[in-house]
Amino acid sequence: MEQFEDFYSPVQTCQRVCGRVINLSTENQKLKEQTIGLFNANYEQSCRLRLNLAEVPQYSLFEGEIIVAEGFCDTKKFNVNRIWKPAVSPVNPPTFTSQELQLHQKSQAGKAVQIMMACGPFTVNHELSYEALKDLMTIVNRDQPHALILSGPFVNQNHEDIESGDLRYRDPDSGELKFFNYEELFTQIMNYIDAQLAHSRGT
């Protein structure tokens, strides 16, 4: 297993440190060579290390990026001579094979793939009727896009009714008034969306 030195280690030999790229400037929000630092929350004392990148011939860094820097540490900065970046592995394997994608492309007969996107909250702030969600699913059933991407919040914790604890949910289909806790309300919304998508796939 790779071993890394502590920040501000007094060792004078070549060492490696791992951390998150940060901007040390409090005046300029743009990351510049003179203000690039490394942050490590596991280090109990000073967890911000200024990087001197003058010896690195070519690099590209962004704020928040995790890197490993190799070099020498003096009293004020870490003099970097090499940078490593961890390889990012895919979280999930590919859902479709290339042959399946080619077959789908042929079945489309040259037509574009339709993707619909919407962001929450899907109801007004003074009631939990979710009329906006109902209107959205009506459009989805009508247009039948190939993919629907929904982004929360589905249950907004800043909603007036949720803050007061009065979670009265009106069913978008039947209009029936129901009382739920936070988790039950979220489950009810997900079940409604799933049922509407099943209906869309069946038509």
Rounded CA separation 121/137 (Å): 14
* N- to C-terminal Cα separation, the chain: 55
Helix 131-143 × helix 182-202 angle, to 10°: 20
- State whether residue 140 is helix, strand or coil: helix
Domain of residue 176 covers: 111-202
* Paired tokens of 184: 């039950």
pLDDT digits 0-9 by tens, 22-32: 888 877 778 88
Q: Determine contact, residues 51/80, Cβ cutoff 8 Å.
A: yes
Query: Has residue 167 been placed in a domain?
Result: yes
33-90 residue pLDDT tens: 888 988 875 555 457 888 999 999 898 898 888 899 999 888 788 899 999 888 766 6
In angstroms, rounded to a whole number, what is the distance separating the alpha carbons of residues 140 and 148? 8
71 and 26 inside one domain: yes
The model carries a pTM of 0.47
Report the alpha-carbon distance of residue 125 to residue 162 in Å, rounded.
Answer: 10
Phi-psi region of 70 (alpha: psi -120 to 50; beta: other; left: phi over 0): beta
Tally of domains within the chain: 2
Largest distance between two CA atoms of the chain: 73
Average pLDDT of the segment spanning 129-133: 87
- Pair (80, 148) in one structural domain: no
Quick one: DSSP state of residue 50?
A: E
Q: Are residues 46 and 115 in the same domain?
A: no
pLDDT confidence of residue 201: 66
Does the pLDDT at position 9 exceed 80? no
Residue 126 contacts residue 160 (beta carbons within 8 Å): yes
Residue 3, in any domain of the structure: no
Collapsed DSSP state (helix, strand, coil) of residue 4: coil
Q: Does residue 8 lie in a domain region? A: no
CATH of the domain at 128: 3.60.21.60
The string of DSSP codes covering 58-107 is: S----TT-EEEEEEEE-SS-EEEEEEE------SS--SS-HHHHHHHHHH
Q: What is the pLDDT of residue 139?
A: 94
Flag whether 93 is in a domain.
no
The answer to whether residue 106 sits within a structural domain is no
